[in-house]
Chains A and B, each alone.
Chain A
């Protein structure tokens, strides 16, 4: 399937301070309950401490954040896993959306997605997910998360245009994200100086309680 255009996100990990404004402004716009986060900010950190025996310490600690919504992947795992076709990729702009009328809330998409983008709404019995703020796009606005970021660390647009606009950005094969080979996400990242490659074992996600 080829799209007319393909939207995607840009994330600057050198600017992000993990403040969560993107996550909260998204929830505010969509009035999402606690427990459903269309955008999540992962804290990845590691490093070792040594007590030097003379009362001093040394260390090689690192940390950085990654803000992730839905990457509206070119080969989405969620649409393939969906038994009803509710999860679908929109032809005109490549956004991956859920048809709430058809969704049976089985959770297959959430299990398939390596980015935790689909978020189940147990009260309504359906899956929910970042929709790229498609109605704001129609008004010529950017997604809420992008416009609310105090550090202006996010951007959104036609992914090829983003790639041209941000030559420092790379495909996000960066821990804690999975290999881009799985779904070909439409996300590019300007990596943090501390960035570790996908599969890195020297650090871990420290804020599971927050995502």
Chain B
């Protein structure tokens, strides 16, 4: 289809595949010759998780035609992996912690925001595993969350409601108790860590810069007298909303546990001070010395059992290395890069440039605007990106981003901003292998899709679209390597089978559908080798140790240009940041914090258009009875939820399952703009596109709103 009205008006006309692919190829040629390959941006998402006909096809096509502007980070854990990198030394390796199965060896599971029963749809495998482990082993379970989640429901021994984004304040108060009562594992801190106290500071950094001095607010080594700004439970109580005595008890529970399993959710990273929230939460197992031992976890999200599959993206010439464009931006900055990419810089915006383009200060400009976007299987062009009204305004101007292609099988809010829409097939119309996602738990699963129906109407698999574009760009032979779609699929399957001995032949899998194994590699225990021998198995940090104090962050803190209020710090710290609980700029006009969560009714925005799911799980904003009474609201009333960025209108659900002062709304609802008000209930009308300090990622859970009767 091609756009016939103004960009974003949703007016389209059906055209032939030839015309569509001709247009795409011509525009790509024009834009690369006029602005360079770095003006092309490929927007990917999790809407289609096929192993072969996926965004790897598209990336490979773009690589073969000269490359495209790359990106780093993602909506799930941009901040989290930076916390992993600066604490434990690597990003993805420490994103994942011990398996759920390892909880069997624990006597206390502490979930900081973690919510396995809602993280994946229907709880996914991880939700199943958690319930089984809990019921079988009966470890004490403490859940910290502003909502009484589906992971609770009597499975918890204690639910501690907390103001969104204040988890770091809670952890600092626990640290205070552990330090002042001498319950930290001093031997562990001495041997395995950098920056805790006078024994472990980097050369040239005084004790006053240590974690212990910071928590106690006392620069004198050996003096435990707390200063005026010590991080005491009394200090943390009004910030977190948690009574002081509860904080003391929680600290004692952790200290008394034989094998505490601390689970830090990705969600606490998606706040305006997200990197510091996660780094701070990691301090619990570190202070206790409870990691790398049976039944413990360093904080990371549960490692999912998985099998390896062939992916076009990982295929020899398809990876990042094959992209001739070496410039990259944060995934969260692409709208800004449309608006004014030229002036985005390394030190201000986190742009990554090749070394030869950096000046003596390590700075440099991106130097180009995004002029074309190819969005595949994603609704983050509009719906899932923060600050919908900002994105709509920037993208509506077709003199800025001159060409937008959307490849999808539904007409969503993002597709409405396309110039050309290419209709993709759905899961049941194509043969492909699907690997499980990262929250699948302890059972590894491969799903073989079969063509129970052929492509409906005029849709095509992505691979075939790419072949059509490659032909028009004169690179068909390089792209296909002379192979048919079926040959590629057969080879991809054979490659997957070689990696997974036991996987049946394809003709069997086409009938059988699912292949799974429980813990094919056994239960994963994070940091096991490092704990056993820190000299032989150092962490990939510069010091080889756990870096409580990060010299690399101390450097960035000095050299990066940050807006007022943003903090990058050598030590992990609670930061009262924008749109958070303590934000003076917004808390008076918008007294409620709004939490976005994974609703059971869809996967992000996928399947929002299924009426049965809309009926099964109502899209209503949760509100505590105290807040509802103050506003004269009762369940079912239509309300406006608003802040300076926009307004949505939806029903309210009055429920004790969310704490006072906090409202909650499932994310992913499809935008439905009527006279400037979203009647669809899309939370991103209310979220900010201001990035977090270190990862330049999405602080989409820091939202302040007011709610009134519509």
Contact = CB atoms under 8 A, between A and B. Distances in A.
A17 B127 contact: yes
Given A27-B612, A209-B618, A209-B651, A192 B154 contact: yes
Contacts of B614: 34
Interface string A5-36: 00000000011111111011001100000110
Interface string B624-662: 111000000001100000000000000101011101100
Contacts, number: 123
Contacts of B238: 54-56
Nearest to A60: B656
Given A21-B122, A56-B242, A210-B618, A34 B600 contact: no
Interface stretch (A42-50, A94-102, A119-127, A157-165): A42-50
A28 B612 contact: yes
A18 B636 contact: no
Contacts of B148: 45, 61, 63
A206 interface: yes
B150 interface: yes
A34 B612 contact: yes
Given A27-B612, A61-B148, A209-B651, A17 B153 contact: yes
B135 interface: yes
Given A151-B131, A210-B617, A57 B660 contact: yes
Contacts of A18: 150, 153, 600
A20 B616 contact: yes
28 contacts: A15-B131, A17-B127, A18-B150, A18-B153, A18-B600, A19-B122, A19-B123, A19-B150, A19-B600, A20-B600, A23-B616, A49-B624, A49-B659, A55-B239, A56-B237, A56-B242, A56-B243, A56-B244, A59-B659, A150-B128, A151-B123, A151-B127, A151-B131, A194-B154, A206-B635, A206-B655, A207-B618, A210-B616
A193 interface: yes
Contacts of A194: 153-154
B155 interface: yes
Interface in B126-158: 127-128, 131, 135, 148, 150-155
A58 interface: yes
Given A14-B135, A192-B153, A209-B651, A51 B626 contact: yes
B592 to A, nearest CB: 14
A55 B150 CA distance: 26
Interface string B363-389: 000000000000000000000000000
A53 to B, nearest CB: 10
A156 interface: no
B670 to A, nearest CB: 17
A38 interface: no
Given A55-B237, A63-B152, A151-B131, A209 B636 contact: yes
A193 to B, nearest CB: 4
B616 A49 contact: no
Nearest to B653: A206
A38 to B, nearest CB: 12
B159 A61 contact: yes
B251 interface: no
B241 A151 contact: no
Given A20-B617, A150-B127, A210-B617, 4 more contacts: A19-B123, A55-B239, A61-B656, A207-B653
A55 B241 contact: yes
A24 B615 CA distance: 9
Q: Give the contact-size bracket for chain A.
A: 35 or more
Given A14-B154, A19-B122, A63-B153, A45 B657 contact: yes
Contacts of B118: 17
Contacts of A65: 153
Contacts of B239: 55
Most buried by A among B118, B123, B124: B123
Contacts of A15: 131, 135
Contacts of B651: 209
A18 to B, nearest CB: 6
A168 to B, nearest CB: 11
A17 B616 CA distance: 13
Nearest to B611: A34
B693 interface: no
Nearest to A58: B243
B613 interface: yes
A206 B655 CA distance: 7
Nearest to B125: A150
Given A17-B127, A17-B153, A51 B660 contact: yes
B669 to A, nearest CB: 15
A47 B161 CA distance: 14
A58 B239 CA distance: 14
A20 B616 CA distance: 7
A21, A34, A56 — which one has the most chain B CB atoms within 10 A of its CB? A56
Nearest to A51: B660
A52 interface: yes
Nearest to B619: A209
Interface in A160-211: 192-194, 206-210
B65 interface: no
B687 interface: no
Nearest to A62: B154
Contacts of B624: 49
Contact of A24 (B154, B612, B660): B612
Contacts of A21: 122
A129 to B, nearest CB: 18
Interface string B57-88: 00000000000000000000000000000000
Contacts of A57: 161, 241, 243, 659-660
A207 B240 CA distance: 29
Contact of B626 (A46, A47, A49, A56): A49
3 smallest A-B Cβ distances: which pairs? A55-B238, A193-B154, A20-B616
B117 interface: yes
Contacts of A55: 237-239, 241
Contacts of A61: 148, 159, 656-657
B166 to A, nearest CB: 11
Interface string B207-241: 00000000000000000000000000000011111
B620 interface: yes
A103 B651 CA distance: 36
A17 B656 contact: no
Given A17-B117, A18-B150, A49 B625 contact: yes
Nearest to A64: B153
A56 to B, nearest CB: 5
Given A14-B155, A49-B659, A34 B237 contact: no
Nearest to A57: B241
Contact of B122 (A27, A46, A58, A150): A150
Contacts of B131: 15, 17, 151
A92 B159 CA distance: 48
Interface string B79-119: 00000000000000000000000000000000000000110
A34 B154 CA distance: 31
Contacts of A34: 611-612, 614-615
B15 to A, nearest CB: 34
A65 B117 CA distance: 14
Contacts of B121: 19
Contacts of B155: 14, 193
Contacts of B617: 20, 210
Contacts of B611: 34
A206 B153 CA distance: 14
A128 to B, nearest CB: 16
B618 A47 contact: no
Contacts of A14: 135, 154-155
A58 B626 CA distance: 13
Nearest to B658: A61
Interface string A80-93: 00000000000000
